[in-house]
Chain A
Amino acid sequence: MTFPASGEAAVPAWRRVRSVSGFDLGAVLSVVLAALALAPLAYLVWRTLEGGESALAALVRPRTRELVIRSVLLAGAVASTSAVIGLALAWLTERVDLSGRRLLAVLFALPLAVPSYLTAYALVAVFGPRGVLAGALERAFGFERLPEFYGFFGAWFTLTLVTYPYAYLSVRAALRGVDPTLEDAARLLGHGRFCTFLRVTLPLLRPGIVSGMLLSALYTLADFGAIAILRYPTLTYSIYNQYRLSFDRSAAAALALLLVAISAMLVVAERRWRRRAAFYRLVGVARSQPRGRPRWWAWGVLAIGLALVGTALGAPAGIAAYWLWRARMLGEALPSVSEPLVHSLVVGIGAATLTVSAGFLVARTIVRTGGRMASALDLPLWISYALPGIVLALALVSLTAQFLPFLYQTLALLFVGYLLRFLPEAVGTLRSVLLQQNPRLEEAARTLGMRPWRAWLRVQLPLALPGFGSAFALVFLTTVKELPVTLLLSPIGFPTLATTIWNATAEAYWSHAALPTLLLLSIGVVPMGFFNWWQERTLGEGRG
């Protein structure tokens, strides 16, 4: 899986193809999409400016400063912990000769499929006051003093649990790119294993670690569900409340701009950093990874990894099963879930199809044209990447309510929301797929007498298919589990699994959330697991 942050690569001159006909429909559509991606941001800026003094007042309030500090603190804590966990698990699955290594590699990425609000609910139910653990402790020992789970600790734990796979996947990719002869060289120059790791491997992994940390941090900054449940108000939460509770939209817009600015700063910093690091890369002979025998620490890491996956997946599944069982025992009638299930599937497949198609157009334009055109397209993509879902959704709601009322509360708007939200993800994956393709292959097909579209169909498409599959799975998964955009943009009377769970739990109808939770978990986990397994297999084959 490639995330936008790791799909970065300059377009070499020889790849650039000058359009022969002069008019390229794909390029034109890409520009339109890019412009569309900038619309929410433009609206926020306009709204803030219009708000004038009151917007400014919202920004300089001490409360705002506090929120910023809380957000940044949480994002930093989650990103650092994720990096440590991701590094340890990546090392375990890439460099240690464990039986069942492939299976573990798939398993460790699975928490990515669990929406943060589900994990948050489940963890509150287990660790929170009057939770399962507290109950058990009280029965056994007559006391139930547990550390406070609500607040920073709970939010940190929950978000780490669902975002460490970002670091894990990107460190794994980076580890595969490290030339093992560099480590051999360090050993021959008198460095032991640990010293070699510190002085050679770790510096080479740094870009991968940092891009994983960026993804964790952005997720945390943008997260709405988990922090709301765990009562750790951050900037995102405050934006939502400003919007819901006060009539002053410009204050919400100003706060949203602040959040975007923080996210964008992180993105820019990471890109700068990565660009510098990119020069380090030398062309080396790819050799298979050396795998050592498991040492004492490997078993510890394995146990922690399994515990993390077990908690991230097992807690929501277990709690939902328990709610379901209790409803059964009490003879409670449960609402049908077929409607939300169908809606989720339709929305997921639709959004994935739309986003991957659009992403392909944009990625193709970037790869084929390069130069100024590529960076012109790149910029809006990165900005919308840094735009938290809730900010995007609020901007779209206000924008349509004001200018395009006929779009408001329609399915079309929901799809536009998903498209803008997930386009960067799709472009990131597809671009790296297209960059890996050798244009000489297409040229060879042309000289063998194929028309361009035929050459594309017979040569490029089959080669790009895994990449398309990967992008599709990614967008489908994130769409289905997405909460704020769905919550704010879906038409009235259009429940999805995510919104059903959210509404049921908000009103403490736990049993009503049970079945949707189990369905959402399986919708996410099964394709994700299958896809990961398949990718592991193809990677394994490719490296003998």
Chain B
Amino acid sequence: MESVAVRLSGVSKRYPGSPRPAVHDLTLEVRSRELLAVLGHSGCGKTTTLRLIAGLERPDAGTIEVGGRVVASPTRFVPPEARGVGLVFQDYALFPHLTVEENIAFGLRTWSRTERARRVEELLTLTGLTAYRARYPHQLSGGQQQRVAIARALAPRPTVLLLDEPFANLDAELRQRMREELRRLLHDAGVTVVLVTHDRDEALSLADRVAVMLEGTVVQVDTPERVYHEPKTRDVARLLGQASFVPARVWGGVGRSDLGSFALAGAQATADQVELLLRPRDVVLEPHPEGLGVVVDRRFVGAETVYRVLLRCGITVETSQPPSVDLAVGERVEVRCNRARLAAFAGSERVGLAELLERHQEQERPHGVPPEPLPSRAPGP
């Protein structure tokens, strides 16, 4: 079993003068050597969570453990300098009066001179900053500043490294590059990382696991694939990306929808009406004169084309198709799901997974009977 690097249990924090708690009854485990991304809208309490772990805020309730040691509880509070936690601030917070080298060595005050020099050298090499060692922070580019901040935080070998919106201050192109660089760097350093972000692509592409935060508490912790395709709630589904919900009717564990029939696996609910979560890449569109969908809008976005398709059930789904698919607005299409399982929702919660059965759209309809006329205008999603 993996050991736990950070554990928060029942942690709450309310800032004075604020009506709602920033963090409410939050429970979260970070495994050793994993990269956990905390994803949430701005103001959902992600940064507060980081500050609580770092010891920059005191929790009102709950306990926090770092490396198996209780660092915050109702009776105990370990100050930030004694926690062994590294934090990379959103704006990096590099000491403007110190050089790159001095910044990195800042946390190594108690180390011996030779040890310190060796460690600084190691980090300069790791981050590729050797040539910039004598520069001051203002003489560095944004990407370089970020690397100094990471090197500085890693230098004292923290139990866990916290990153607060690490790419927020970088422009789009640099962001992409730094993301890959960071992944490599953290992998090489072999350190436990908690990264806070509001950018779902960042969370999904970087993390081993993603913790989704909504209104001060963690709703779901899972692998990127699972939080994306099998979100626990509708809000999580929306937070992680474009989501369409296709209604379906259920009789005795078997459901029917415009996407086909399915078996509702693990359905603890007795719902007779569920909605299936459809991601843009989950369906394939094929022109078909008797298809159940009609193209209402197409948008070219470069590598792919985004189509909006109105289904028979009155729902419009948004889907991305490869350039090989070329459909005109108004064209009738068959909407075929290319995933074996879809998350099924009743109300705001996920109630189970829908295992799609063999396609028998055609058989369901008596031969020669045209499909029901489609409404001319889609009701709002």
B77 within 8 A of partner (CB): no
Query: Provided the pairs A190-B109, A204-B97 are in contact, do residues A284 and B80 lie with their beta carbons within 8 angstroms?
Result: no
The contact of B89 among A185, A192, A204, A283, by CB within 8 Å, is A185
Contact between chains at A187 and B56 (CB < 8 Å): yes
The contact of A282 among B87, B110, B137, by CB within 8 Å, is B137
Contact between chains at B81 and A191 (CB < 8 Å): yes
The contact of A189 among B55, B56, B97, B107, by CB within 8 Å, is B107
Q: List 22 A–B pairs whose Cβ atoms lie within 8 Å, in order of A's numbering.
A: A181-B93, A185-B87, A185-B152, A186-B95, A186-B106, A187-B55, A187-B56, A188-B56, A188-B81, A188-B83, A189-B81, A189-B86, A189-B107, A189-B156, A190-B107, A190-B110, A199-B106, A204-B96, A279-B138, A281-B96, A282-B96, A284-B91
Complex Cα gap A184–B149 (Å) = 13
B132 within 8 A of partner (CB): no
List chain B residues, Cβ under 8 A from A200.
95
Q: Mark contacts of A165-198 with chain B using CB atoms, 8 A cut-off: 1 yes-contact digit, 0 otherwise.
A: 0000000000000010110111111111001000
Q: How large is the interface on A (under 10, 10 to 19, 20 to 34, 35 or more residues)?
A: 20 to 34
Interface residues of B in 3-19 (CB under 8 A from A): none
A280 within 8 A of partner (CB): yes
Complex Cα gap A189–B80 (Å) = 8
Q: Mark contacts of B58-79 with chain A using CB atoms, 8 A cut-off: 1 yes-contact digit, 0 otherwise.
A: 0000000000000000000001
Tell me the dominant secondary structure on chain B's binding face: loop
B30 within 8 A of partner (CB): no
Contact between chains at A187 and B89 (CB < 8 Å): no
List chain A residues, Cβ under 8 A from B109.
190-191, 195
Complex Cα gap A189–B86 (Å) = 7
Complex Cα gap A508–B153 (Å) = 68
Q: Which residue of A lies closest to B137 (CB)?
A: A282
Query: Provided the pairs A186-B106, A188-B85 are in contact, do residues A280 and B79 lie with their beta carbons within 8 angstroms?
Result: no
Complex Cα gap A282–B136 (Å) = 10
B310 within 8 A of partner (CB): no
List chain B residues, Cβ under 8 A from A12.
none
Distance from A191 Cβ to chain B, minimum over Cβ atoms (Å) = 6
B36 within 8 A of partner (CB): no
Complex Cα gap A226–B228 (Å) = 77
B94 within 8 A of partner (CB): yes
Distance from B66 Cβ to chain A, minimum over Cβ atoms (Å) = 12
List chain A residues, Cβ under 8 A from B80.
184, 187-188
B54 within 8 A of partner (CB): yes
Contact between chains at B89 and A189 (CB < 8 Å): no
The contact of B95 among A182, A281, A285, by CB within 8 Å, is A182
A294 within 8 A of partner (CB): no
List chain A residues, Cβ under 8 A from B90.
285
Complex Cα gap A185–B85 (Å) = 11
Complex Cα gap A188–B137 (Å) = 19
Query: Provided the pairs A190-B81, A190-B109 are in contact, do residues A280 and B97 lie with their beta carbons within 8 angstroms?
Result: yes
Query: Provided the pairs A184-B56, A200-B95 are in contact, do residues A279 and B81 lie with their beta carbons within 8 angstroms?
Result: no
Interface residues of B in 75-129 (CB under 8 A from A): 79-83, 85-87, 89-91, 93-97, 106-107, 109-110
Q: Mark contacts of A88-108 with chain B using CB atoms, 8 A cut-off: 1 yes-contact digit, 0 otherwise.
A: 000000000000000000000
List chain B residues, Cβ under 8 A from A195.
109
Query: Provided the pairs A191-B81, A280-B138 are in contact, do residues A184 and B93 lie with their beta carbons within 8 angstroms?
Result: yes
Distance from B18 Cβ to chain A, minimum over Cβ atoms (Å) = 12
The contact of A184 among B89, B94, B96, B136, by CB within 8 Å, is B89
Complex Cα gap A191–B95 (Å) = 14
Interface residues of B in 21-51 (CB under 8 A from A): none
The contact of A192 among B81, B86, B87, B136, by CB within 8 Å, is B81
Contact between chains at A184 and B87 (CB < 8 Å): yes
List chain B residues, Cβ under 8 A from A199.
106
Complex Cα gap A191–B108 (Å) = 10
A203 within 8 A of partner (CB): yes
Distance from A198 Cβ to chain B, minimum over Cβ atoms (Å) = 11
The contact of A188 among B86, B96, B110, by CB within 8 Å, is B86
Contact between chains at A279 and B136 (CB < 8 Å): yes
Q: Which residue of B lies closest to A179 (CB)?
A: B93
Contact between chains at B79 and A185 (CB < 8 Å): no
Q: Which residue of B lies closest to A186 (CB)?
A: B106
Contact between chains at A203 and B87 (CB < 8 Å): no
Q: Which residue of B lies closest to A182 (CB)?
A: B93
List chain B residues, Cβ under 8 A from A189.
81, 86, 106-107, 152-153, 155-156
Q: Which residue of B lies closest to A192 (CB)?
A: B81
Contact between chains at B138 and A185 (CB < 8 Å): no
Complex Cα gap A190–B87 (Å) = 12
List chain A residues, Cβ under 8 A from B96.
182, 204, 280-282
List chain A residues, Cβ under 8 A from B153.
188-189
Complex Cα gap A187–B85 (Å) = 10
Query: Provided the pairs A190-B109, A279-B136 are in contact, do residues A185 and B95 lie with their beta carbons within 8 angstroms?
Result: yes
Distance from B93 Cβ to chain A, minimum over Cβ atoms (Å) = 4
Distance from A281 Cβ to chain B, minimum over Cβ atoms (Å) = 6
Other contacts beyond A185-B152, A188-B83: 4, CB < 8 A: A185-B93, A188-B55, A188-B81, A190-B107
Distance from A485 Cβ to chain B, minimum over Cβ atoms (Å) = 40
Complex Cα gap A181–B87 (Å) = 11
Distance from A200 Cβ to chain B, minimum over Cβ atoms (Å) = 6
List chain A residues, Cβ under 8 A from B83.
188
Q: Which residue of B lies closest to A204 (CB)?
A: B97
Complex Cα gap A203–B98 (Å) = 10
List chain B residues, Cβ under 8 A from A186.
95, 106
Complex Cα gap A187–B91 (Å) = 16
Distance from B70 Cβ to chain A, minimum over Cβ atoms (Å) = 18
Distance from A20 Cβ to chain B, minimum over Cβ atoms (Å) = 35
List chain B residues, Cβ under 8 A from A179.
91, 93
